[in-house]
Amino acid sequence: MLYLELFLQGLLQGSIYALVAVGLTLVYGLLRILHVAHAGLYTLGGYFGVLVYNSSGSLMLSGIVATFGVGILGVIIYRLCYEAILDQPPFVPLIASIGLFIAMEELYRILFGSYGVSYTNPPLQQMLPLGGLYLREGEWVTILVSIILIGGLAWLSSRTRLGLAWRATVTDPQMAESFGIDPIRVRYFNFFIGSALAGTAGMIVGILNNLVEPTMGSVPSYKALAIIVLGGLGSVRGTLVAALALGVVESFGTIYLGNVLNRDAIAFVFLILVLMVRPQGMFRGV
Amino acid sequence: MKLKIIISSIPALFMFFGIAWADTVKVGFNVPLTGFAAADGESALNGAKLAVNQANANGGINGKQIELVIYDDQASPKEAVPIANRLIEKDGVKVAVSGSYSGSTRAAAGVFQAAGIPYISAYAIHPGITRAGKYIFRTSFMGEVQGAAGALLIGQTMQIKRVVVITLKNDFGKSLAAGFKAEAANFGIEIINEYEYSIPDRQFGPIVAKVRADKPDAIYASGYFFTAGPLVNQLRSGGVTVPVIGQEGYDSEQFIKIAGAASEGVIITTSLDRDSNSPETRSFITEYEKLTGNKVDMVAASGHTALNVVIAALRIAGTSNPKAIRNAIAQTQLNAATGHISFNTLGEVRKNVQVQIVRNGEWHYHSEIRDQILLAPPES
């Protein structure tokens, strides 16, 4: 039973990683940018969630603001920061992205205070044991939301014209454009979806921890990079599998290796081991 | 005539400001104001500022105003070393205080010791800090001392014997755990398991699941309010109801905000007794809330205490001779917000450990540990 619980805790952590990393992999797949500031948007989702909930008391409203607000901000970041430097070598947008991320963290600290913000009346904290498994309401909701959002993304990209245009642009932007697809709109859409998922993840984590801090994105900023490398750069399916696998490895590692290695070290040892066997990552990317 | 007065008063005016500028007493202060430790940095700085404001309102140091020279060290050793050099060489401070964590304080301590400038660690707990030399002091407990107090609290005061230890894997958590484990057996405590986590962790699901299976009678968990808040919250909502014993890292209003109802009944060892009747503590609590609008925490009280030790030493020794200031600090006998302060030969503070408990959403007095043999810090 303990193993099953640890496994479930791992999937839970993994599904949060997945929500964050998918956006990163989408951006990389389309534009070859390592979008470190993505983690700053994740933090912003946490802030939107807690601030809207504390003032309105509506979980639905704060979820909508966190998801759509962050999605729109992701598009704005693309428009203002990346679009002008797309033709530069890849390290230029990477450095811009790192700078942006640091600036975002400090901006949150100045705007919302260094002590962090907590829910005055934290939602979804009750224990809800189902079939002998002890998870909080918030944790069940996390698993549910992840399945819905990522399932929706899969449906969108494989079953709709928009998704077709999207995938066509990833595969061959010039060919797609000659078939009448507007690549600029595809990029906006790409950033919107990726950022919205990160915003949702940020809000969820804010509820689970009952704490949103300026530096909340620091771990996801590099761990999500590890995950997309692990999954095979640019492969959405690979990213999902890698995120869940990493969550489970960390969950067991925390208990059985915790006195030797910390959580992050376990994650990176796992990354190195996988890359030694499969240098291209778990799945072939773009 | 009028013009003449104005013109003739200009040099005097310059002299006045010139003297005023040269006549402040500078006290160096390195503190994390950005980055992951910025919350503690803000509290430490506010505590220090309050001490300076109070001293300046009472005539400063022999008529000179005190000026706090503040640098942001981001709790990082590589920032702290250049800051220490700058404070000594450019700002010319004759005494300095660390409002920062152990890593940066330890790095800066070596620089201050080499320059022969007295330096006080307000709340950084690594044992290596005061061992940098004779010019380095600490006004808070060493981790080991507080860990030993935790063992006494659990094994003797609370009479609990089966304990799980959850340790924050940095110098803070490690030295607390070392002190706790060294004394545990003496108080009949059996440590049935120990888990470690690192400072960015906020999700403790796997540890909670394992602790539930371990069925301990109490949990001794180190951490700061931003890790301990989520940890206690997740332990309680994960169905673990046994007492949680923490230490001064929890000691903040923020811990209660984060953990919410789960914080009720949590017991900690710390330096600040909020229910104390001592006039120093009472005035600190009221004045701090007036200055900042926030409730007091351990870090603010420690910043306040460290500055008051410096101010008292400057009043005795004068302001220019670092060696005299160092000797005055070593002789300190001061009632401060965190209790009576005096130092041993290593520069470690001797004081009682306060035990606080969360009742009705506020920190309150639980007990006080006065065992001076157990609490004696090492002399070398």
Q: Is residue A220 part of a domain?
A: yes
What is the model's pLDDT at position B348?
A: 95
Looking at residue B252, the DSSP 8-state letter turns out to be S
- Look at residue B2 and tell me whether its pLDDT is greater than 60: no
A194-211 mean pLDDT? 95
* Average pLDDT over chain B, rounded to an integer: 92
Nearest to B230 among A106, A109, A210 (CB): A210
What is the model's pLDDT at position A286?
A: 53
Give the closest-approach CA distance of B212 to chain A in angstroms: 9
Tell whether A247 lies on the interface with B, counting CB pairs under 8 A: no
Whether the CB-CB separation of A219 and A264 falls below 8 Å is answered with yes
Tell whether B170 lies on the interface with A, counting CB pairs under 8 A: no
- Look at residue B231 and tell me whether its pLDDT is greater than 90: yes
Nearest to B258 among A118, A134, A263 (CB): A118
Q: Is residue A117 part of a domain?
A: yes
Give the closest-approach CA distance of A210 to chain B in angstroms: 6
Rounded Cα distance, B110 and B129, in Å: 8
Percent of chain B, pLDDT > 90? 84
Q: Is residue A286 part of a domain?
A: no
Whether the CB-CB separation of A166 and A189 falls below 8 Å is answered with yes
B58-71 mean pLDDT? 93
Q: Is residue A187 part of a domain?
A: yes
Tell whether A12 lies on the interface with B, counting CB pairs under 8 A: yes
Give the closest-approach CA distance of A285 to chain B in angstroms: 30
Tell whether B133 lies on the interface with A, counting CB pairs under 8 A: no
What is the model's pLDDT at position B13?
A: 46
Whether the CB-CB separation of A215 and B35 falls below 8 Å is answered with yes
B53-59 mean pLDDT? 94
- Are B210 and A115 inside 8 Å of each other by CB? no
Tell me the pLDDT tens digit for each residue of B355-368: 999 999 999 999 99
Tell whether B215 lies on the interface with A, counting CB pairs under 8 A: no
- Look at residue B376 and tell me whether its pLDDT is greater than 70: yes
Rounded Cα distance, B329 and B344, in Å: 11
| A136, two tokens | 């909080």
Closest CA relative to residue B220, chosen from B260, B247, B251, B239: B247
Residues linked to residue B247 through DSSP beta bridges, in sequence order:
B269
- Look at residue A279 and tell me whether its pLDDT is greater than 90: no
A211 contacts in chain B (CB < 8 Å):
202, 226, 229-230, 258
Q: Which of A54, A254, A259, A266 to mutate to test the interface with B (most CBs of B within 10 A)?
A: A254
H/E element holding B364? strand B362-369
Spell out the SS3 assignment of B256-273: HHHHHHHHCCCEEEECCC
- Look at residue B4 and tell me whether its pLDDT is greater than 60: no
**Rounded to 5 degrees, what are φ and ψ at B31?**
-155, 140
The CATH number of the domain holding residue A221 is: 1.10.3470
A109 contacts in chain B (CB < 8 Å):
34, 38
Tell whether B38 lies on the interface with A, counting CB pairs under 8 A: yes
Give the closest-approach CA distance of A5 to chain B in angstroms: 7
Closest CA relative to residue B278, chosen from B207, B210, B354, B224: B354
What is the model's pLDDT at position B15?
A: 45
B308-320 mean pLDDT? 93
B260 contacts in chain A (CB < 8 Å):
118, 122, 125, 210
Tell whether A54 lies on the interface with B, counting CB pairs under 8 A: no
Q: Which residue has the tokens 């009280």?
A: B301
Closest CA relative to residue B190, chosen from B198, B180, B200: B180
Domain carrying residue A38? 2-123+134-277
| A153, two tokens | 């993304």
What is the model's pLDDT at position A285?
A: 60
Give the closest-approach CA distance of A126 to chain B in angstroms: 6
Tell me the pLDDT tens digit for each residue of A230-253: 988 888 889 999 999 999 999 999
- Are A114 and B257 inside 8 Å of each other by CB? no
Domains detected in chain B: 2-141+277-349 (3.40.50.2300), 143-270+354-369 (3.40.50.2300)
Q: How far apart are the first and last CA of chain B?
A: 70
Q: Is residue A285 part of a domain?
A: no
State how far the alpha carbon of B41 is from the alpha carbons of A190, A245, B107, B254, in Å: 39, 37, 17, 14
Q: Which of B40, B195, B202, B234 to mutate to test the interface with A (most CBs of A within 10 A)?
A: B202
Tell whether A115 lies on the interface with B, counting CB pairs under 8 A: yes
- Are B196 and A259 inside 8 Å of each other by CB? yes
Number of inter-chain CB pairs under 8 A, A vs B: 107
More confident residue, A275 or B2: A275
Whether the CB-CB separation of A126 and A136 falls below 8 Å is answered with yes
From chain B residues 301-320, the ones with a CB under 8 A of any chain A CB are: none
State how far the alpha carbon of A166 is from the alpha carbons of A67, A170, A176, A181, A183, in Å: 21, 6, 9, 9, 8
- Look at residue B8 and tell me whether its pLDDT is greater than 80: no
| A15, two tokens | 């599904």
Q: Which pLDDT band, with edges at 50, 70 and 90, does A53 fall under?
A: very high
pTM for the whole thing? 0.89
Tell me the pLDDT tens digit for each residue of A110-141: 999 988 999 998 898 888 888 778 888 999 99
Tell me the pLDDT tens digit for each residue of B322-363: 999 999 999 999 999 999 999 999 999 999 999 999 999 999
Tell whether A9 lies on the interface with B, counting CB pairs under 8 A: yes
- Look at residue B12 and tell me whether its pLDDT is greater than 90: no
- Look at residue A280 and tell me whether its pLDDT is greater than 70: yes
Rounded Cα distance, B352 and B106, in Å: 24
- Look at residue A222 and tell me whether its pLDDT is greater than 50: yes
Whether the CB-CB separation of B72 and B31 falls below 8 Å is answered with yes
Q: Is residue A231 part of a domain?
A: yes
* Sheet of B218-221, strand order: B190-197, B162-168, B218-221, B244-247, B267-270, B353-359, B362-369
Tell whether B233 lies on the interface with A, counting CB pairs under 8 A: yes
Q: Which pLDDT band, with edges at 50, 70 and 90, does A2 fall under?
A: confident
Residues in chain B: 380
Give the closest-approach CA distance of A99 to chain B in angstroms: 14
What is the model's pLDDT at position A29?
A: 87
| B163, two tokens | 């304990």
Give the total number of structural domains in chain A. Answer: 1
Tell me the pLDDT tens digit for each residue of B122-164: 999 888 999 999 999 999 999 999 999 999 999 999 999 999 9
Tell whether B63 lies on the interface with A, counting CB pairs under 8 A: no
* Average pLDDT over chain A, rounded to an integer: 91
Whether the CB-CB separation of B89 and B20 falls below 8 Å is answered with no
Rounded Cα distance, A146 and A12, in Å: 9
